[in-house]
Structure 1
Amino acid sequence: MKLKHEFKNAWGVIRENNAMEQVNNYSKEYMNFLDVGKTERTSAKEIIRLAKEHGYISIEEAINNKSVKPGDKIYANNKDKGVALFLIGEKNLESGMKIVGGHIDAPRIDLKANPLYEDANLGFFKTHYYGGIKKYQWTALPLAMHGVVILQDGKKVDISIGEDHSDPVFCITDLLPHLAADQSQKKLAEGITGEGLNILIGSQPSEGVDKDPVAYHVLKILNEKYGMVEEDFLSAEIEIVPAGCSRELGLDRSMILGYGQDDRSCSYAAVKAILQTESPKYTAVALCVDKEEIGSNGNTGMKSRFFENTVAELIALEGNYNDLKVRRAMANSKVLSADVAVGYDPNFPEVYDKRNSAFIGNGLVLCKYTGSRGKGGCNDANAEFNAEVRRIFNEANVVWQTAELGKVDQGGGGTIAYILAELGAEVIDCGVAVLSMHAPYEVVSKADVYEMYKGYKAFFNINK
């Protein structure tokens, strides 16, 4: 009898199974998703495109067909910012669903409603950051601009500047070391302030304009390209994200460096897994939501009624609808809350409990609880469901490990797990280890994201 379970390294198992080609192919597809899905809107759009390619129809089409049956593939679009994919199972929805739920928003910088101004012959946008970021990490980086603008006539215009090699990019300036004596004495969190995250957007003045000629020139360019006037910023959603594509990391190309991997790594795995699933006993659901990074609020966050209402629509299509069936469907469901875990970083060992940390390359991560200081705000999965998921992964030869979020009282965080648990579902957090989480560029292992996809697929296909 072994005293302690030893977690496997995923690369060894992958080599034993001659799966290197599958890992590399999956990684390429995933990196393409990261590059296309720089925002929650573009991620949702790409998920819907992939779903349609695999025969999924919209919930509106299903309602028009007035029926739903095992094998049907249905997607629901939540205001272009969230998506739920349903593969209808043999058993009715009242019996419960197998749900893998993650989020597709990521920490970023948003433009304020009145962003445009000029100072010292330079044009800037005022911003407000979204989610938990270290503000200093966003300075002196090439940045891209994405979003939508609703013009005065109601026309919706998509904006994307900074991703193509021929595009200009933007940046937030920082203070040179020679003049940074006072800045260097500040606490790390105060070196760059929230109000200091101003996006540099231009320096060329318009001819014949006396007041704010640089800002005027910038607005003129936006008007020519998108038909915008300054007032249109009031009805715009414009996000600032790192420019450029994700890259392979390391001489051995074993890792992926990219923006937004928390939590698009998990959401993509959920989508890929359900698209590779056929004829499940219980309805399989890949649920990709917005607003997790700011508390899951709003009508596109997990706290909204979107998912519950969509399930109600599908139950109505089964026939003999009543509200109790919806409640039973939720309470009988089993959920993998698809969110990343913090990876152990030997550069900062003081914040981790090494015996209870996730390690890059050791596969999929099960996290029984998140929360902070006394498990506050967490789901805390029960032993029965924890063991059930463990058995599923073992039977499918999925490489997995367990972890928690750093040392007790060191900090903490949360996921969408508790929200579905409040409806009675069995839920456990399940994702991959990430280094530099919430930084403009995050790090994951190719082996880990592949094992995550395998684990989610096994969860969808288990008939228990």
Structure 2
Amino acid sequence: MKDTKSTKKTEKTAVAGKKLVESYKAFLDAGKTERECVVQIIAMAEAHGYKDIASCKSLEPGDKVYVQKMNKAIALFEIGKGSIEDGMNILGAHIDSPRLDAKQNPLYESDCITYLNTHYYGGIKKYQWVTLPLAVHGVVCKADGTVVQVNIGEDADDPVFCISDILPHLAQDQMKKTGAEIIKGEDLDVIFGLRIPSEKDGKTDDEEGKDSGKKKKGKADGKKAILELLKKKYNIEADDLKSAELEIVPAGAARDCGLDRSMILGYGQDDRSCAFTSVAAMLESSAGKRTNCCICVDKEEIGSVGATGMASHMFENAVAEVIARLPEGYSELSLRRSLANSIMLSSDVNAAYDPKNSSLYDKDNSSSLGGGLVLNKYTGSRGKSGASDANPEFIARLRGVFDKAGVSYQMAELGKVDQGGGGTIAYLAAKYGMNVLDAGVAVLSMHAPWEIIAKEDLIQAYAGYKAFLKI
């Protein structure tokens, strides 16, 4: 006879996993910038009873609050029954991803084509960004205080944008260059519009003067036409672009990948695969004795700098605001004890083993697609530079937690020693004296415009984060 209870449990788990995956893909589609992610996280949190901490004068066990910073970073807290000085259970991820940013004077016209001038953000292979359909997301802040939301290229009726490349017939010189030189940073300018050439084009100023009887078009008519369209759609002027934050990202939705639909192809899965599952785990958990926290920060891809990066005081300030509202009241010592006694999973992705480039990996110490939650004792590069290097006692404790919860996990490094490396926010949390371990999802084609993860790994990450919050 079949085990009916076991079958129903398996079916229920499969349905829950499918729901998680579909919610995640929707999160990716609506959150292609850190600002868009924060908007979604706040909406999700408020639907689960979280309140803006600014509206709370005091806090007690069971209360749920969030602290957001400049619309680009956010921390969620659920107050536990014990003293916060005994530490918190923290999930920490980042919500920024590699992309192109528009410069502050972005529009220019060259030989009838209008371009958006860009500066790339984060570690990218520049040649991967040419000849792709691109979208523009962001905000334009006007001098009167108005903030205009911009999103062009995602709807079916929207135009998309593109960066041109040289045709193979004329690319003999280009093809002799290294991958780093094929496309230069200053060549990553996005085609924004086209002006139909007039008789005036190609003439000297003297020749133009002789055509006084003909209607002349200005040299920047194409740029002017683009500005008129922006004025009509968004009511913004040319000067408003000086205080804009426009991010250029791949246009299109996250999709199932593979004939068996076992994977997800999407933009920004580093690190939104871990950010989404961390937030979801936080919202579906209940704090016990210890206070639970989930923090999603900005700027990790460029060194965790700025007011919204993990290297700032944003996180400790948020914790201070929580402590100040607890019955015990705020003290510097309480803050220090709380942070030092906390434990954290640095929810960040790891490089998935690539069979097509196996020489770059130590296979026995690599993470595989479908292998479950990736635990990375240390990141960094060349001699563990830039790593926090988690304590084995903490790893052993987590192994016990995950084993008990039935979570699949794998121990891995980024790649071969001396091959390269990378970092996470782990070392910035470890400076407070807390135990920290990198734990996330394996990603294939990391930092490419379109990245690949396994659905199974997303599900296991969510399960692992939930189990961690129960400690």
TM range (shorter): over 0.9
* TM score, norm. by length of structure 2: 0.93
2:292 alignment partner in structure 1:
284
**154, 166, 188: which is aligned to 1:197?**
188
Q: Secondary structure at the match of 1:240?
A: strand
User: For residues 309 and 346 of structure 2, what CA distance do their matches in structure 1 show?
Assistant: 14
Would you say 1:240 and 2:234 are equivalent positions? no
SS for the counterpart of 1:173 is coil
Q: Identify the residue that residue 41 of structure 1 maps to in structure 2.
A: 35
Deviation at 1:211, TM superposition (A): 2.4
**1:209 Cα deviation after fit:** 4.1
Identity of aligned residues (%): 53
How far the C-alpha of 1:110 sits from its partner, in A, is: 0.1
Distance apart, 1:14 and its partner CA: 12
Q: Does 1:171 align with 2:162?
A: yes
Confirm whether residue 219 of structure 1 aligns to residue 230 of structure 2: no
Q: Distance in 2 between matches of 1:313 and 1:110?
A: 33
TM superposition shift of 1:320: 3.3
1:25-64 maps to which residues of 2 (within 5 A)? 25-62=19-56
SS at match of 1:181: coil
CA drift of 1:20 comes to 2.2
RMSD of aligned Cα (Å)? 1.5
Q: What is the CA distance between 1:205 and its match in structure 2?
A: 5.6
Alignment of 1:382-421 (within 5 A): 382-421=391-430
Q: Which residue of 1 aligns with 2:306?
A: 298
Name the structure 1 match of 2:362. Answer: 353
Report what 1:6 is aligned to: none
Q: Could you give the per-residue CA deviations for residues 276-322 of structure 1, whole angstroms, max 9, x where no partner exists?
A: 01232211111100000000000000011111011111111113321
**What's the CA shift string for 1:328-347, capped at 9, x where partnerless?**
01000000000000000001
CA distance in 1, matches of 2:299, 2:329: 34
- Equivalence map 1:98-109=2 (5 Å): 98-109=89-100
Aligned to 1:348, the other structure's residue is in SS state helix
SS at structure 2 position matched to 1:52: helix
> Equivalent of 1:23, from 7, 17, 26?
17
Matches of 2:262 and 2:195, distance apart in 1: 44
Partner of 2:92, secondary structure, is strand
Give, in whole Å, the separation in 2 of the partners of 1:279 and 1:342.
32
Give the Cα–Cα distance (whole angstroms) in 2 for the partners of residues 149 and 280 of structure 1: 43
Q: Match for 1:231: what amino acid? A: D
Measure the CA separation in 1 of the matches of 2:438 and 2:387: 10
Find the residue that maps to 1:71 and give its secondary structure: coil
Instruction: Note closer, same or farther for the CA distance 1:208–1:144 as it changes in structure 2 (3 Å cut).
Output: farther
Q: Deviation at 1:16? A: 9.1
Offset, 1:379? 0.5
Answering whether residue 282 of structure 2 is matched by residue 274 of structure 1, we say: yes
Tell me which residue corresponds to 2:239: 231
AA paired with 2:151?
S
- Cα distance in 1 for partners of 2:120, 2:162 equals 14
Deviations 1:324-381 (A, max 9, x none): 1000010000000000000000010110000100000110000000000000010000
Contact 1:205 1:216 in 2 (8 A): no
> Match of 1:46, as an amino acid?
Q
Alpha-carbon separation, structure 1, partners of 2:307 and 2:433 = 21
Which one has the largest radius of gyration?
Answer: 2
Match 1:314 to one of 316, 319, 322? 322
Q: Give the match for residue 208 of structure 2.
A: none
Residues 461, 102 of structure 1: alpha-carbon distance in 2 compared, 3 angstrom cutoff: same
Alpha-carbon displacement from aligned partner over 1:5-34 (angstroms, at most 9, x marks no partner): xxxxxxxx9999443222211100000000
- In the alignment, the residues of structure 2 paired with residue 320 and residue 360 of structure 1 have an alpha-carbon distance, to the nearest angstrom, of 47
Is the aligned partner of 1:365 residue 2:374?
yes
Counterpart of 1:222, as a letter, is L
Contact preservation (8 Å) 2:76, 2:293: yes
1:376 aligns with 2:385: yes
Deviates more, 1:329-338 or 1:280-289: 280-289
Q: For 2:324 and 2:174, locate their aligned partners in 1 and report how far apart those are by CA, in whole Å.
A: 61
TM normalised by structure 1 equals 0.94
Residue in structure 1 matching 2:350, options 338, 341, 354: 341
Whichever residue aligns with residue 122 of structure 1, its letter is I
Contact conserved, 2:287 with 2:469, CA < 8 A, in 1? no
Matches of 2:173 and 2:25 in 1, distance apart? 41
Equivalent positions of 1:251-262 (< 5 A) are 251-262=259-270
1:145/1:161 contact within 8 Å kept: yes
Q: Where does the alignment leave 5 or more consecutive residues of structure 2 unmatched?
A: 1-5, 198-214
Q: Where does structure 1 lack aligned partners over 5 or more consecutive residues?
A: 1-12
Paired amino acid for 1:26? L
Query: How many residues matched?
Result: 447
Q: CA deviation at 1:91?
A: 1.1
Find the residue that maps to 2:135 and give its secondary structure.
strand
State the partner residue of 1:7. Answer: none
**Per-residue Cα deviation, 1:52-76 (whole angstroms, up to 9, x for no partner):** 01110001012xxx21111101011
3-state SS of 1:361 partner: coil
Q: Deviations over 1:91-149 (max 9, x none)?
A: 12111000000000000000011111111110101100000000000000000001111
SS at match of 2:325: helix
